[in-house]
Each structure stands twice: as C-alpha cells, then as structure tokens.
Structure 1
Amino acid sequence: MNEASLSALFSILAGLILLSAFFSSSETGMMSLNRYRLKHLAKTGHKGAKRAERLLQRTDQLIGVILIGNNFVNILASSIATVIAIRIWGDAGIAIATLLLTIVILIFAEVTPKTLAALFPEKIAFPASHALGPLLKALYPMVWLVNLFTSAILKLLRISAKDAANDHLSREELRTLVNEAGALIPAKHKDMLVGILDLENVTVNDIFVPRNEVVGIDLEDDIETILRQLRSSQHTRLPVYSGDINNIRGVLHLRNISKLLLEEDVNKAMLMQLSREPYFIPESTPLNTQLINFQKAKRRFGIVVDEYGDVLGIATLEDILEEIVGEFTTDYAATSPDIIPQDDGTYIIDGTAAIRSINKTLSWKLPQDGPKTLNGLITETLETIPETNVCLKVKGHRVEVLQIKDNVVKAAIVHPLKRRGR
C-alpha cells in the first residue's frame, strides 16, 4: 500500500472517530436536556428546542438511530484501523490496532464528547437535531426492525414502556426544585411558592384567631358602649353575638355603618340590618380548600367551629394569604409581636402564640401534632395547669413560665437548643 492510500485511510479513520464523537455527544446531550426547560423553549418558538422535543417524543427511535450510527461508525473504524496496522506492523498490528483504537475512541469519541454534552446539553443537542431528524427518516426501516426485537425482549422480561416513570413532578419534587433554583428565583418568591405548596398541609385550625382574642359586638351591651367600640375599632369586620360568642348573629362591616355613626338615633336593630349572615368554617378544612371556598362564597371572614358547632375563633382571607406572602406590614399587631428576643439569646413568647408560627419564625421543631399554642403545649407536657411559675423541658428546649392568669399561661421564656460541642 502506497503512502497516498495510507494517508487516505488515516483521513477516513479520523473522520469516523469524529462521527463517533458526534453520536456519543448527541446521545448524552439529548438525554441530559432539562425536559421542563425544553418545553418552555419550544413554547417560546425556539427551533432547536422544537426539533429536540419532537425527537424525544419517541425516545426508543432516537436511541435506536444514534446507536445504529455509532456502532456502524465504530466497527468501520475498527476495520480500517486493523488494515492500517497490518500494513505497518504486519500480523502484530491486530493487537496494536485494538489497543490504540480503544484508547483513541475512549478519549476522543466517548469520554470527552459525552462530558462536554453533559455539561452543555443544549449547545450539543440543538445543533445535533439538525442531522438526527433526517438520519432517523433515512434509517427508519432499520430502526423499526431493531425496536421490534427490543420490544419483544422487553415483553419476555415483562417490562412495559407504560411502567416507566412519567415526567410529572410531585409536590415534594417541585418544592425541592424551587429551593434549588438558587439566584434564578428571589428568596421572597421562593418563600411564596413554598407557602402555596404547603397550603394543603395546613388547616384552618393552625391559623385561626382563638375565641378569647376575638373582638366582637355583644348585643347585650348598651348602645353607647357598642358605638364607642365601633368608633375605636381597629378591625374592618366584627362578629355580632348575643351574650356569648357561640350565639353568633352576624358579621358587621364598618364600611356599612360609617354614615350611620354620625346619626344620633342609632339602635341595635339598625346594626343587625347592616350585618351579614355569618359564614362558618370547619376547623379541619385545609387552607387550599378554604381559599377556594372564600372565593366561591365571595367572603373574606369566617367563623371557625368544631365538630360540635361550638365557636373556636375566626379566620380571614388575610390569614391564609399571610401563609403565602408572610406577615403584612400593615398589621396593627406588628407593633406587639408574640416573640420577643432577649440579649441572652432566649425568647419571651406569648402563651397564645401558635406553635407553627414559632417554628416558622425561629426555625425550631416544636411538636405540631398536638396543641396548637405554646400554652397548650406547656399544659400538655405538665399534664396539669401550672399554679405557679415552673420550669420544664419540651423537645430539648427549656421553658420557664413567666405569667399565669385565668388558668392560662400568658407568657414564657423559651431557651433555644444548645448546639453540640459548646
């Protein structure tokens, strides 16, 4: 074999190795594409994404055409390398060609192109789709035949393509995706998205205002007392009841009585006429369901009741929205927070503070499957109502009762968990 022929074979061999690198990188690039980003790019009109998405709709055909091309190229390269080696080294050239070609293919046609494709899948897959589409059409009969035998083997193994996992994300996977988005999503937006995902796991019972904190209009009070309360109220909606809050008669919106307050002959009957029928909410209703219920009923305010129909407190649309976006800065209670940090690292916490709010604010893990407030957690742990200021441990936190009134823990000092090694 003359030098010209040998040079031509070397050129063909180099071209085959490049083709092998193309097929290897195409396979890894296509399989490494982010399917959700791919769908987004395709919807925005990206041509490369559209081509890649069409190819990935039949993954078996795509893998078939890539592997057919890659194996054909590698086998042909092996044959040519063997011919070249025999011409140069004689019979010993077979072993030499096998060793050298294996190293060359591993480095230049497998590891390097696949690594690049895994790092930059879009830059590899989108341009490769130009060639893979026409190639699939040209080799379709062979691809179909290969897939026919493959499907038969899978059936013998009792494996069905329908059993494969779909591309749909579960709620937990979506939460992980949001948390791992990094700087792509601002921290505040992350909190909002996670808050929406958590709505199903939180019930009205976790966020309602307890009845002992509810401010309402008692119809048994004299009209002057009621009017003074209405003029100084910091709430826009007030429940109206008779004697006991279990006897709810309606809900009064202060906007409806703004003009009425200027009149002199206001009476309770006028207030009742302006009151709206109460809207009751079962305590176990998930927040995502209640949000929809508020929307359907055109309501923003509900009376929370237990299974016996007794009033437990109130819940508002604002309470649910705060689970998503956080506390509103316009909240009048923001000037008197339930959790007050101290210089020594402890916290003075109001007894009525919700356990869920404490955990969320301080990143603690106090138990939430039982009592909903700190007062309830303390009394459950002690198994009695404390008569004096006592100290106890709850999930490793040291709790010191500060104030007790009307059989209720009004305030307590809570120590954070001590870090190990300190």
Structure 2
Amino acid sequence: MENWINFGIALLLVAINGFFVAAEFALVKARPSRLEQLALGGNLFAKVANWLARRLDASLSACQLGITLASLALGWVGEPAFHHLIEPVFAWMGISNPDVLHYVSLAFAFTTITALHLVVGEQAPKIFAIRKPEPMAVWCALPLAGFYYVAYPLLVALNWITSLLLRSIGVEAVDEHGTPHTEEELRNLVAQSHVHGELTRSEAQLINAVLEFDDQSAHQIMTPRTDVITLSMDAPIEDWITTIRKYRFSRYPVVEQSLEKAVGVLHIQHLVGLDLSQPLDRAALLQPPNFVPETIPIKTLLQHFKSSQSLLAFVVDEHGTVVGVVTLEDVLEELVGELEDEFDEQVRDIVPEDDQTFRVLGQTPLDDINKAMGLTLQSHDSDSLGGFVMQHLGRVAEQGDVIQIDGAKIEILRVEGPRIVSMRVRLSAPLASLDAPTSTDDNEDSAAQ
C-alpha cells in the first residue's frame, strides 16, 4: 500500500513540475498589453496574472524554485516507488538473482520516471504555454501567486545570495527580461508574425518602412536638380501657364536664372480667380524658399515640413549648391509607397524582360536593385544605379558601354548628356522568384519630370 501511495505522490509531483514549467513559459511569452487588457475586463485571474507579469523576475524565480523542489522530491519519492512496483513483475518473468533483479528494476524505474518527467512535466506544458501564453498565464495565476507569497522569504534570501555571488566575481545583476529588442530583432519578429498570419503583408511592409525611415537622408529621396521643372521670374505669365498645363504639378520653384537664385515656391491655387491679362504682383503669390541640407535625416525633414508649413524644400550640398528639391510627399512615400493622383503616369524603375534580364532607369536606388535582383551593390558616393555605373566607369557614360560586376552585366541603353537614363541588367543566373518591381512616379508633387 505504501508503494502505491508513493506512486501517487510521484504522479502528483510530475503534475506540479509541469504546472511551474507552464507558468514560467507563459509569463515569459505572454504580451503585457494583452494581460492588461484582460485585467481591465474584471477577471480576477487576469488581474493576478498581470500583477505577476509586472514582477517578472521575482515570478520566474518562484517558478524555478517550484520546479527545483518538485524535481528533487520526484527523484526522492518516484524512483523507489516505481522500483518496488516493477520489481515483482520482473521476478514473475523469471529473473531470480536478487542483485540482477534489483538493478534491472532500478534501471527500468529510472528510465520510466525520467521519460514521464520530461514528457508530462516539461515538454508538453512548455509547448502548450508557448502556443497559448495568455490563457495559460491566467489559469496558473492564483496558485502561482499563493506559492509566491509562501516562498517569498526564501526567494529574497536566494536572490540576495545570488547577487552577492555575482558581485564577488565582478558581475552586476541585471534585469535580463527588461532588455529592449534591437532593430534587427524587431525585423525578425515582424517577419515571423507575417509568416504566421498575425500581420498582413502591407502591415509588415509598413513596419519595416518605419524601421528604415531614419536611415535615409534628403539626398536619397529628392528629385535631382536635372529633373526639376522651374518657372522663371522674368518669363511672361503665358509661359508659366503653358508649363503648368504641361506638367500638372501643384507647386513650382520660381527662380531667377538658376536654382541658386530661388525666389520662392508657387502653388497653382494662388493663380485661381486672377485676371491673368492684368499685371500681377508675382512676389506676393510666392511662398519664401525653404532650404535644407542634403544630409538631413528624413525623420528630421518631416518635422521640418510640419513646423515650417512649407511642403517643398530646396536641397543644398556642403558648398551651398542646390542639388535638387524634396517634398512632403517624397517623405511620406518612404513609409506608405508611391502616392499617385489622377495626373500621374506610372513609370516603373525596374521592368523585367525575362527571368534573367531587366530594363532599369538610371535613377533607380541601389537598395531597390539589390532587393529586386538579389545583388549586393554598394557605393559610398552614389545612391542610384546610374551613379554606381558612372563611378565604376571612371568617366561619363556613353550609349553602348558595358560593365561586368559580381552577379550581373550592365549595358547602357540611353544617355542624355552626362546622365544615364536607362540600362539593361542581365543577371548571371535567373531569379527563382522576383518581388514585384519597384515603381516610381516621375510626376511627383515636386517639380520633377
């Protein structure tokens, strides 16, 4: 009878061990925001679970203490109980030598209790808690809180001894569970959430765009100087109207001779309702010019647009030369993708000709090329493929020039003056799959062509 009592105690200890394992992993995996939401619903178990989660280190110490005590007790009670229950079975099978019978029974009992401990007391509750952390944390809350209070003096003593030991060897105890995630870890979490269906593709792309947001500068998103459409301050008003009707932008830089002599920015709504046959005070129609350095991070640029109430800025380099213009729309497109209106004509930067060959615009960013084609092109001086090719050539590119780089051959298809307009990129091996090509809009809300 005593053996059967010990056998029942052993099974109970396995269940207790499983309880503490499940509680530990549930508290680690549970989202604090979800537990707070459940607690606000008035559920007592959820309130206790939220209380334990706010004291995560102490709660996990209680779980570890419970696991250790249960495991030690199981080894003390379980093996003898299983040994004495199994010994008669082996004797019935014909094992008569007392020593052989003892060791075979002991080995079988050890194997059985170990398997039971691992499967029922460790793996099963751990996996269940990982897959359903919030429900498990809520279910375990009250018993764990009771054990936490009962064992609190012992937990304090053990934590004090641990801290003393760590300090003696020059290590400061830290709250490892409060360590923030790195940007790369956040990207991995987003990718895993997308794979498991917790985030849609568009949600994952938006979060990744936010993480990349502050890594870019105005120089990388601006409309280059060569593409900027301007209005001359001295030109007849009829020329202004012709240009506005042709390009259909909402804002235009107004200059005297060059962008370095920018007078201001014209919004076409300021022309609405005016009698254009009469002399106009053009200066009164313009917003003051707004200049930003090309190195300004786009996060800072966004704040600049919000504070200045000017949605178009002239981008200048270290020498004070205007190298392009940038708009609020350019900044927002880095987060949400291309924004097109009824006048925009979609022009794709990367157009596949087959699974190995692509027609690419010279202004296409290197990052887009690398993502779409699986390449690793890098340049400290150029952000676009055209600039990368020009740097590789070491001279002004000409139509028909061909360069060979790791993984691809690039042929110049069209140039306009010193600028590369389009190229053909042929990969050394076909892509197994191609992401949707990046598309850009030549008619952005800036004065870009």
TM-score normalised by structure 1 residue count: 0.85
Q: Return closer, same or farther for 1:245/1:86 CA change in 2, 3 Å cut-off.
A: closer
Q: How does 1:69-84 map to 2 (within 5 A)?
A: 69-71=69-71, 73-74=73-74, 76-78=76-78, 81=81, 84=84
Equivalent residue, structure 2, for 1:265? 278
Deviation per residue, 1:298-350 (Å, 9 max, x gap): 33221111111110111111112111111124375543333333257422222
* CA distance in 1 between partners of 2:355 and 2:125 (Å): 54
Deviation at 1:224, TM superposition (A): 2.0
* CA distance in 2 between partners of 1:141 and 1:352 (Å): 67
Identical positions, percent? 21
* CA distance in 2 between partners of 1:352 and 1:139 (Å): 66
Amino acid at match of 1:10: W
Alignment pair present for 1:107 and 2:115 = yes
Q: How does 1:219-238 map to 2 (within 5 A)?
A: 219-238=233-252
Equivalent residue, structure 2, for 1:50? 50
Amino acid at match of 2:152: Y
Aligned alpha-carbon RMSD (Å): 3.1
Q: How does 1:354-373 map to 2 (within 5 A)?
A: 354-373=365-384
Deviation per residue, 1:273-315 (Å, 9 max, x gap): 1211111111111222222222232332211111111101111
Alignment pair present for 1:307 and 2:318 = yes
Higher relative contact order by CA 8 Å / sep ≥ 6: 1 or 2? 2
> SS where residue 220 of structure 1 aligns?
coil
Equivalent residue, structure 2, for 1:407? 418
Q: How many residues align?
A: 411
Unaligned runs of at least 5 residues, structure 2: 40-44, 92-96, 433-449
Equivalent residue, structure 2, for 1:376? 387
Alignment pair present for 1:180 and 2:192 = yes
* CA distance in 1 between partners of 2:64 and 2:384 (Å): 61
Alignment pair present for 1:349 and 2:349 = no
Deviation per residue, 1:60-91 (Å, 9 max, x gap): 63145314531453255158639957997998
> SS where residue 401 of structure 1 aligns?
strand
Unaligned runs of at least 5 residues, structure 1: 1-5
> SS where residue 161 of structure 1 aligns?
coil
* CA distance in 2 between partners of 1:361 and 1:271 (Å): 46
* CA distance in 2 between partners of 1:219 and 1:351 (Å): 31
Amino acid at match of 1:247: K
Amino acid at match of 2:318: E
TM-score normalised by structure 2 residue count: 0.81
Equivalent residue, structure 1, for 2:429? 418
Match for residue 5 of structure 2 among 1, 11, 19: 11
Deviation per residue, 1:13-63 (Å, 9 max, x gap): 32333223322x234323433747430221212434425415524146314
Amino acid at match of 2:210: I
Amino acid at match of 2:277: E
Deviation at 1:213, TM superposition (A): 0.5
Match for residue 351 of structure 2 among 327, 337, 340: 340
Equivalent residue, structure 2, for 1:155? 167
* CA distance in 2 between partners of 1:66 and 1:344 (Å): 59
* CA distance in 2 between partners of 1:36 and 1:286 (Å): 35
Match for residue 400 of structure 2 among 378, 383, 389: 389
Q: Contact 1:85/1:94 (CA < 8 Å) preserved in 2?
A: no
Equivalent residue, structure 1, for 2:334? 323
Deviation at 1:186, TM superposition (A): 0.6
* CA distance in 1 between partners of 2:27 and 2:159 (Å): 25
* CA distance in 2 between partners of 1:194 and 1:86 (Å): 59
* CA distance in 2 between partners of 1:176 and 1:82 (Å): 46
